[in-house]
Amino acid sequence: MAPFRPFHVCGLICYSFLQCIGGLGCHYMALSGRLGLSFILCTSVAPDHHESYLEKSMTNQKVVRALEIGFGTTSLVKGVREQQNRFRGKPPILMPEIMTFPSFVAPVENDSVNMSGDMHSRDTVTVEIADADSLRYEIGPDAHLAAGIKSARVLSAEYITTPQYKALFYGSLVYMNEPEIDMLVLGLPVEDWKARRDQLKDLVVGEHTVNGKTYKIKDAWIIAQPMAGLLAYAATLSPEQYQAFRQSTNLAVDPGYGTFDFALAFGLKVNDARSGGRDLGMSVILDKVEKNLRGAFPSLSRLPVERIDEAFWKNKTFIRLNGNHYPFPVCQGKDVDGNPVDIQFDIRGARDEVIRQAMTVMKNQVGDGGDIDNVILLGGPAPIYKEKLIELYGAKRLIELQNPIKSVCAGMFFGGVQYLDALERKAQAQKAVA
């Protein structure tokens, strides 16, 4: 997969965007519609010589940030850096600097201390949620080190209204360290996006005081998470490749921690009826596998789900439990060193049951794929769902985003830059007419 080259394609996307909202023969639709990307509606062809807005954005001093608070991980744009433009004579471009950490929220007791001392301080932020009985929470890469055994992620359709979500939002503002953000882009699962995008926007726009410092969010744009994957992929294309992409039918498949989402689009124009999601994400697999493993480890009153999760994405060939390393996903009475153990398990059936359900839901809504040109796979658990996705739609048209978690956040950022630019140009055009 090629590295991000947003200066190739952003001008092309922006040109279509501006035609749609700039009164050039295209009917203007609400910018919040069609999974957050209704602005890219027309099929106009951009001029041969196009200017990248990411180049121009260096001069207008607007601050765009992206924040994806998922059930499994949180990714945010901490800042931007200049990168040399591959086109000679062109100014540098701006690239997002992205930070990702588990969406783990640890309640903090008033008398709690970090026993590691100053030598090994945790990489976390502690925030207070005033509307939750003044509870304090610790979030960040090391938040799990502050958690008790009863701490758990929140997996609910009400997620955005919980103190845990607000703690992740407040802590992310601290990590971003931007006192004023002109446009904040956030993502939601497809079904939540349909029902809760306006509610989330109302929650984040405005002033927020965190740990004595005020952060102002002037505006926010909420998009469906699979669409961020399409934007991320579009940013890797050359102008010629992007023109072909605009005429292609593209399926974005986004297995996340809580949900399994998918969106079908012609270019970047979404077919709402063939897009959707279901609660069949990685957390459901982990729950099924945990129940499967209980029979192999009857002495354990609690099987640590984080160790099972680690076996899927980090270790891949073994699981660490009870001070030993066992082959994974199948153990046949020997540990990884070949020593005999009284442990046997096979979790493949439990894993595949969930994945098959997800594929069935998608196929029933999307179809058998006869009109699909590209299947774009993103999301942290993507490798776990990949095999069954290939069985369904074949390997030839499968495109895996490189570093899928951060790529989605980057796509949100690139889209936000274009969105804000188009809003400003539309306002300028209306002012000129008036």
Domain termination site, one of 316, 346, 376 = 346
Predicted pLDDT of residue 112:
53
Predicted pLDDT of residue 134:
63
Establish if 142 belongs to a structural domain: no
Q: Residues 422, 23: contact at Cβ < 8 Å? A: no
Q: Is 315 left (phi over 0), alpha (psi -120 to 50) or beta?
A: alpha
Same domain, 289 and 389: no
Domain termination site, one of 346, 365, 390 = 346
Establish if 418 belongs to a structural domain: yes
Residue (of 284, 279, 286) closest to 261 by Cα position:
279
Q: Residues 308, 320: contact at Cβ < 8 Å? A: no
Same domain, 190 and 327: no
Same domain, 337 and 371: no
Same domain, 45 and 94: yes
Query: Residue 363 carries which side chain, given as an amino acid letter?
Result: K
Establish if 56 belongs to a structural domain: yes
Query: What Rg value do the Cα atoms of the chain yield, rounded?
Result: 23
Same domain, 161 and 78: yes
Same domain, 173 and 248: yes
Same domain, 296 and 242: no
Total tally of structural domains belonging to the chain: 2
Q: Which residue has the tokens 């390997």?
A: 395
Establish if 363 belongs to a structural domain: yes
- CA 227 and chain centroid, separation: 10
Same domain, 221 and 315: no
Establish if 194 belongs to a structural domain: yes
Same domain, 202 and 222: yes
Establish if 135 belongs to a structural domain: no
Establish if 395 belongs to a structural domain: yes
Same domain, 329 and 396: no
Q: Which residue has the tokens 């498949």?
A: 253
Same domain, 311 and 199: no
**CA 259 – CA 290 distance, rounded (Å):** 18
pLDDT tens digit at each of 434 positions of the chain: 433 344 344 444 444 443 333 332 232 233 334 454 443 333 223 333 334 444 444 435 789 999 999 998 999 999 988 777 665 666 667 789 999 999 989 888 765 555 444 444 788 999 988 765 668 899 998 887 876 655 556 666 788 999 999 999 999 999 999 999 999 999 998 888 888 899 999 999 999 999 999 999 999 999 999 999 999 998 888 888 989 999 999 999 999 999 999 999 999 899 999 999 999 999 999 999 999 999 999 998 889 898 999 999 888 899 999 999 999 999 999 999 999 999 999 999 999 999 999 999 999 999 999 999 999 999 889 999 999 999 999 999 999 998 888 888 999 998 998 888 888 888 888 888 87
Predicted pLDDT of residue 392:
96
Could you list the residue range(s) of the whole structural domain that residue 42 is in?
6-103+153-279+356-433
Q: Write phi, then psi, for 100 (nearest 5 degrees).
A: -130, 140
DSSP code, position 236: T
**CA 345 – CA 60 distance, rounded (Å):** 59
Same domain, 377 and 286: no
Establish if 228 belongs to a structural domain: yes
Domain termination site, one of 325, 346, 367 = 346
